[in-house]
Amino acid sequence: MSGILEGKRVLITGVLMESSIAFHTAKLAQEQGAEIILTAFPRPTLTERIAKKLPKPTKVIELDVTNDEHLGRLEEVVGQELGGLDGVVHSIGFAPQDALGGNFLNTPFESVATAMHVSAFSLKSLTMACLPLMQNGGSVVGLTFDAQYAWPQYDWMGPAKAALEATSRYMARELGKQNIRCNLISAGPIGSMAAKSIPGFGELASVWDSRSPLEWDLKDPEPAGRGVVALLSDWFPKTTGEIIHVDGGLHAIGA
């Protein structure tokens, strides 16, 4: 029996650790029949080591989504490797340390601008760089952390994720005519490298212990990875501009 991504070609960003949602997305995508290519920054060698743990070998290319030169050569490099693309996974987020950890009111604009550029605007930049490779349409899937709420310690990553969510909706509006779907997975907290960079992450994550209807495991990124793979597949052919929650149901619970 073939997988739900059989014949699909997918570019996946953000594979930094085996514990990341991006790694499990890559693993599941291969298991479901996709050919994949990974991007990495600032340490491609780290991603190359992690990639050896995937079911099949895959190429890793350096990509800084804030670098126009890197974005400009993406079409050629990916085209040579895969011939085209059917899916793109945006698993990129960064904020300087002074934009996290309870410093919201004192963060300088320069740090806010960096967080917005890397975490939100890059969804547009990455998608546009890949657009010439998606001649037959396709699916763009990003990762967010529910921006409806103000979370403890998350500070300017909250507004950055809100911008990411709005950007995805506008991308869906603009690219629908080209049969390209743009959706997000809103995942619960995972003990990834990104999480470890947030001071006081444990306080934020502890909310799930008391409020999540389904038991939530900080060490299990596979449910979110399954959500990404599902949105990459043809099983959501008319879903775009959507945010699918894979958070144990916490988003639906008031208290």
Catalytic annotation, residues = 154, 161
Residue 111 one-letter amino acid: S
Helix (H) or strand (E) holding 174: helix 157-175
- Ligand-binding annotation for 21, yes or no, is yes
The response to whether 190 counts as a known ligand-binding position is yes
81 phi, psi to nearest 5 deg: -80, -45
Give kind and range of the element (H or E) at residue 184. strand 180-187
Rounded CA separation 122/246 (Å): 23
**Contact by Cβ (8 Å): 49, 43:** no
191 is in an annotated binding site: yes
194 annotated as belonging to a binding site for a ligand: yes
Q: Let me know: does 17 contact 23? Beta carbons within 8 Å.
A: yes
Residue 10 among known ligand-binding residues: no
Ligand-binding site membership of 59 (annotated): no
Strand order in the sheet with 87-90: 60-62, 35-40, 9-12, 87-90, 138-144, 180-187, 243-246
Judge whether 116 is annotated as a binding position.
Answer: no
Instruction: Let me know the angle formed at the C-alpha of 25 by 75 and 234, rounded to the nearest 5 degrees.
Output: 75
Task: Give the span between the Cα atoms of 222 and 224, in whole angstroms.
Answer: 5
3-state SS assignment for residue 206: coil
CA-CA distance, 23 to 224, in Å (whole number)? Answer: 11
Tell me if 207 is assigned to a ligand binding site.
no
Known binding residue 193? Answer is: yes
Rounded-to-integer distance, Cα 135 and Cα 140, Å:
14
Binding residues for substrate: 95
Binding residues for NAD(+): 14, 20-21, 64-65, 92, 161, 190-194
Binding residues: 14, 20-21, 64-65, 92, 95, 161, 190-194
